[in-house]
């Protein structure tokens, strides 16, 4: 199959070359010069404008990663390289597949990026944004034009979560050609094969872009092979001069073998080993969106986004802790039956946004607001009895799942912000958001009569508010301050007990709190790009499990506070002395964060028998005290090379900061680590490129997480040294 896709890709490249030779009308004047200028002077990290797509970003901390301007391993979606210049991004590296992205900031959990509101083209893509905000889908990096990151202040325009907004922007069709081609073929260590092929263009009022992507590998660890397919199509039509209608469809499917976790002794002896060969995971994902833009006038605009997610989460495997060997039963001469868990998601939503520019006291001000309606449905079937085989097989040997639940969410929201221009330099941006959320759960947690749950409904209205400001220090620099309240709704796993012995607090509250930022950012001429700031994150009513009357009790356990410094500085050394240099470029960057993330309050002190087990004053789980990334990029005409060093502090896996690991490897301290990467690209003959690199140059042994469930449980090792080589064409 890989050979077939490789042959197809080569044919596409050859057709593209022949096509380019025949199209004489296409103007390539100064194309080589433009190519060099992109390498030498364009910023890889930008900021959001004050208004984009009728959303206000003034006074908010933001980063925009320009994917076409960085050197990184896109073939495996290497997140630590791609997010290198976004300070404070904590990453869970579950495997080397790049299928799922696990990131967080400011001491929050990176678990499938669930503290971020994750979107594509401004539309929801997570499993269920309120009840199950985990992101199983991740687009191939070759397909992206940019990634937008807005910290906690995004809560007013986008709702939860505490982490802010993470938005993927897919490339668009070439506006100057009716048809254009792009193809990138990559091979690498551990049988990596990655193919990305795209076609797009513009004809009169119609524009389109489509890609097909496949990535396969045997994986760095034993029992970690995977195969992923992603297809995408977008079309836009300029109905009138003022009205543009667009539609997008994304389909992803994959099968990934789960190598499982390790206990500490196993990790220390050989961190590539695996004791689970029958565990598999897949998540078929379908995303559909319709976007209507109406530029009513130069000062008045409207946009309507309607979207849907139809998806699944499927797993089959031997799920006991690593202490239990997955071996053949002597009495049956077969393996034990595997466990099957299946989720089905159907989510629909619409957001309408409006922006108005108006004159107030002689200055232009901007109002932006909108409405949101959302409906989500999740069907969760767990503890099914599967086959005794080795391959990915969701066949049930008993048609009845031992646990079956259904969750529904209805959400309505209204939101508004306004930029008030006070004088020539100062802006103030107040805003509010009103949320109405209705959750309902029903089903059973075991097939006995005692396991049937009464339908449970939870209704609430939540008011969020905030205020930001900007002060223009110079033409290209400004100071920003922001305060925004935030919340995290009680999620599905917290609405239903995991067993009949577990009790849920009837007064369980949504987590609430706020984010605060203060910083100074901008550019100085063409040689300096920077953003230096401090933050404070207050997170109240965290949900957890304690023991009460000898039974598990799920309740709000306490309050956490995260505070620290985030800084990004990049200097182009050549342009300090020669601002107009077009031949050579040498830049260095430092992306640093210092994070003090601790529990400030323990809600249940009377329940703690041993005071040492209290979480008050303890560090938050999975929150390193520092994350530093340094690097340098050298460019000479079409050649560009980047070296990067990532340094991350140690973390604890539990709230009481247990130092020594337990027998299953799920609790204990994880040591900090340093990783070095290098990436090189060479663009030639105006439309071709070679790329390559080495990830984890020193083959460092490290781990970013301990897992209690999938894909573990136990220590999940980070990937060792890997090499990739890539060839591409764009016509």
SS3 578: coil
pLDDT at 547: 64
Q: What is d(CA 721, CA 719) in angstroms, rounded to the nearest whole number?
A: 7
pLDDT at 578: 81
Is the pLDDT at 561 greater than 70? The verdict is yes
Question: Once rounded to an integer, what is the mean pLDDT over residues 378-386?
Answer: 96
Percent share of the chain, pLDDT over 90: 74
pLDDT at 28: 31
Angle formed at CA 113 by CA 112 and CA 114, multiple of 5 degrees = 90
In tens, the pLDDT along 490-524 reads 888 777 776 666 678 878 888 999 999 999 999 99
Question: Once rounded to an integer, what is the mean pLDDT over residues 578-593?
Answer: 88
pLDDT at 26: 34
pLDDT at 2: 42
In tens, the pLDDT along 620-632 reads 999 999 999 999 9
Q: Do 116 and 291 touch, CB atoms closer than 8 A?
A: no
pLDDT, mean over the chain: 89
* Token digits of residue 516: 């605060």
Is the pLDDT at 166 greater than 60? The verdict is yes
Is the pLDDT at 12 greater than 80? The verdict is no
SS3 594: strand
Q: In sequence order, which residues have a C-beta less than 8 Å from that of residue 590 and are 6 or more positions away?
A: 567, 568, 569, 570, 628, 629, 630
Percent share of the chain, pLDDT over 70: 91
Among 11-15, 67-71, 665-669, 709-713, whose mean pLDDT is lowest? 11-15
Domain of residue 261, residue span: 2-730
For tokens 């092979």, the residue is 225
pLDDT at 501: 62
Is the pLDDT at 356 greater than 90? The verdict is yes
Is the pLDDT at 40 greater than 60? The verdict is no
Indicate the pLDDT class of residue 323, thresholds 50, 70 and 90. Answer: confident
CB count in 10 Å sphere of residue 451: 16
Among 9-18, 351-360, 424-433, whose mean pLDDT is lowest? 9-18
CA 586 to chain centre: 30
Helix (H), strand (E) at residue 385: strand 363-385
Question: Once rounded to an integer, what is the mean pLDDT over residues 225-233?
Answer: 97
Is the pLDDT at 189 greater than 50? The verdict is yes
Question: Once rounded to an integer, what is the mean pLDDT over residues 655-662?
Answer: 88
Among 159-163, 311-315, 473-477, 589-593, whose mean pLDDT is lowest? 159-163
CA distances from 271 to 263, 280, 365, 483 (A): 10, 20, 58, 44
Is the pLDDT at 10 greater than 70? The verdict is no
Q: In sequence order, which residues have a C-beta less than 8 Å from that of residue 276 and are 6 or more positions away?
A: 223, 258, 259, 260, 317, 318, 326
Higher pLDDT, 26 or 169: 169
Query: What dihedral angle (degrees, nearest 10) is formed by the CA atoms of 188, 189, 193, 195?
Result: -30
Is the pLDDT at 550 greater than 90? The verdict is no
pLDDT at 15: 35
Indicate the pLDDT class of residue 610, thresholds 50, 70 and 90. Answer: low
Question: Once rounded to an integer, what is the mean pLDDT over residues 425-442?
Answer: 95
For 275-299, b/e burial (b = at least 16 CB within 10 A) is bbbbbbbbbbbbbbbebbbbeeeee
pLDDT at 499: 62
Indicate the pLDDT class of residue 252, thresholds 50, 70 and 90. Answer: very high
pLDDT at 23: 34
Q: Do 147 and 139 touch, CB atoms closer than 8 A?
A: no
Most confident of 465-469, 658-662, 707-711: 465-469
pLDDT at 30: 35
Is the pLDDT at 167 greater than 90? The verdict is yes
pLDDT at 121: 95
Burial class (CB within 10 angstroms; exposed 0-12, middle 13-18, buried 19+) of 523: middle
Indicate the pLDDT class of residue 597, thresholds 50, 70 and 90. Answer: very high
Q: Do 193 and 215 touch, CB atoms closer than 8 A?
A: yes
pLDDT at 613: 64
Question: Once rounded to an integer, what is the mean pLDDT over residues 242-252?
Answer: 97
pLDDT at 548: 65
Q: What is d(CA 551, CA 710) in angstroms, rounded to the nearest whole number?
A: 25
Max CA distance (Å), the chain = 87
* Token digits of residue 199: 């076609």
pLDDT at 627: 98
Beta-ladder partners of 675: 646
Among 45-59, 452-466, 547-561, whose mean pLDDT is lowest? 547-561
Helix (H), strand (E) at residue 294: strand 285-294
Closest CA to 564 of 92, 105, 82, 85: 105
pLDDT at 604: 66
Question: Once rounded to an integer, what is the mean pLDDT over residues 123-149?
Answer: 94
CA distances from 274 to 36, 79, 278, 414 (A): 46, 24, 11, 50
CATH code, 561:
2.40.170.20
Is the pLDDT at 392 greater than 90? The verdict is yes
Indicate the pLDDT class of residue 611, thresholds 50, 70 and 90. Answer: low
Indicate the pLDDT class of residue 543, thresholds 50, 70 and 90. Answer: confident
Whether this model's pTM surpasses 0.85: yes
Indicate the pLDDT class of residue 100, thresholds 50, 70 and 90. Answer: confident
Number of domains in the chain: 1
pLDDT at 8: 38
């Amino acid at each position: 199959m890989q050979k077939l896709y490789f042959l197809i890709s080569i044919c596409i490249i050859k057709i593209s070359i022949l096509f380019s030779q025949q199209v004489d009308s296409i103007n390539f004047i100064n194309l080589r010069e433009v190519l060099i200028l992109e390498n030498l002077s364009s910023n890889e990290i930008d900021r959001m404008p004050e208004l984009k797509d009728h959303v206000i970003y003034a006074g908010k901390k933001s980063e925009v990663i320009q994917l076409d301007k960085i050197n990184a391993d896109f073939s495996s979606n290497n997140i630590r390289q791609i997010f290198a210049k976004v300070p404070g991004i904590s990453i869970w590296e579950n495997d080397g597949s790049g299928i799922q992205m696990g990131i967080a900031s400011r001491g929050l959990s990176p678990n499938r990026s669930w503290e971020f509101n994750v979107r594509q083209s401004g539309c929801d893509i997570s499993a269920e944004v309120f009840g199950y905000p985990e992101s199983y889908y991740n687009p191939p990096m070759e397909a992206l034009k940019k990634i937008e990151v807005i910290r906690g202040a995004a809560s007013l325009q986008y709702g939860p979560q505490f982490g802010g907004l993470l938005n993927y922007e897919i490339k668009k069709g070439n506006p100057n050609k009716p048809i254009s081609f792009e193809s990138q073929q990559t091979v690498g260590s551990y049988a990596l094969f990655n193919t990305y092929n795209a076609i797009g263009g513009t004809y009169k009022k119609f524009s389109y872009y489509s890609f097909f992507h496949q990535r396969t590998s045997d994986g760095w660890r034993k029992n970690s092979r995977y195969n992923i397919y992603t297809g995408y199509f977008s079309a836009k039509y300029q109905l009138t001069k003022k009205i543009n209608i667009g539609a997008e469809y994304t389909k992803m499917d994959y099968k990934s073998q789960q190598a499982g976790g390790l206990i500490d002794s196993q990790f220390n002896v050989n961190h590539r080993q695996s004791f689970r060969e029958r565990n598999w995971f897949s998540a078929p994902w379908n995303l559909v969106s319709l976007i209507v833009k109406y530029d009513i006038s130069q000062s008045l605009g409207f946009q309507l986004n309607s979207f849907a997610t139809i998806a699944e989460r499927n797993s089959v495997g031997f799920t006991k802790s690593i202490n239990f060997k997955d071996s053949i039963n002597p009495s049956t001469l077969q393996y034990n039956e595997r466990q099957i868990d299946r989720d089905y998601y159907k989510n629909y939503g619409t957001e309408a946004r409006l922006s108005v520019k108006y004159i107030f006291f002689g200055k232009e001000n901007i109002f932006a607001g909108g409405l949101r309606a959302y409906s989500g449905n999740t069907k969760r079937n767990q503890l099914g009895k599967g086959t005794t085989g080795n391959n990915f097989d969701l066949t049930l040997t008993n048609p009845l799942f031992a646990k079956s639940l259904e969750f529904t969410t209805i959400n309505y929201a209204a939101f508004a912000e306004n930029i008030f221009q006070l004088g020539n330099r100062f802006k103030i941006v107040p805003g509010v958001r009103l949320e109405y959320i209705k959750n309902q759960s029903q089903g059973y947690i075991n097939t006995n009569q005692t396991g049937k749950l009464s339908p449970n409904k939870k209704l609430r209205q939540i008011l969020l508010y905030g205020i930001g400001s900007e002060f223009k220090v110079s033409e290209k620099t400004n100071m920003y301050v922001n305060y925004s309240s935030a919340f995290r709704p009680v999620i599905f796993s917290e609405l239903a007990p995991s067993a009949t012995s577990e009790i849920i607090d009837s007064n369980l509250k949504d987590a609430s709190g706020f984010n605060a930022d203060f910083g100074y950012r901008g550019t100085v001429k063409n040689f300096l790009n920077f953003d230096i700031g401090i933050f404070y994150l207050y997170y109240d009513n965290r949900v957890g499990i304690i023991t009460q009357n000898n039974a598990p009790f799920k309740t709000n356990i306490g309050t956490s506070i995260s505070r620290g410094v985030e800084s990004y500085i990049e200097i182009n050394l050549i342009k300090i002395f020669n601002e107009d240099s077009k031949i050579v470029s040498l830049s260095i960057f430092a992306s640093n964060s210092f994070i003090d993330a601790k529990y400030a309050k323990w809600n249940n002190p009377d329940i703690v028998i041993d005071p040492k087990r209290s979480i008050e004053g303890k560090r938050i789980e999975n929150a390193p005290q520092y994350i530093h990334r340094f690097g340098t990029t050298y460019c000479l005409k079409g050649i560009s090379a980047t070296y990067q060093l990532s340094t991350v502090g140690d973390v604890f896996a539990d709230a009481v900061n247990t130092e020594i690991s337990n027998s299953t490897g799920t609790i204990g301290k994880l040591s900090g680590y340093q990783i070095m990467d290098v990436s090189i690209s060479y663009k030639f003959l105006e439309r071709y490129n070679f790329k390559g690199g080495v990830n984890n140059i020193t083959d460092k042994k490290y781990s970013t997480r301990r897992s209690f469930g999938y894909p573990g449980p136990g220590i999940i090792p980070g990937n060792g040294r890997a090499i990739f080589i890539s060839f591409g064409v764009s016509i």
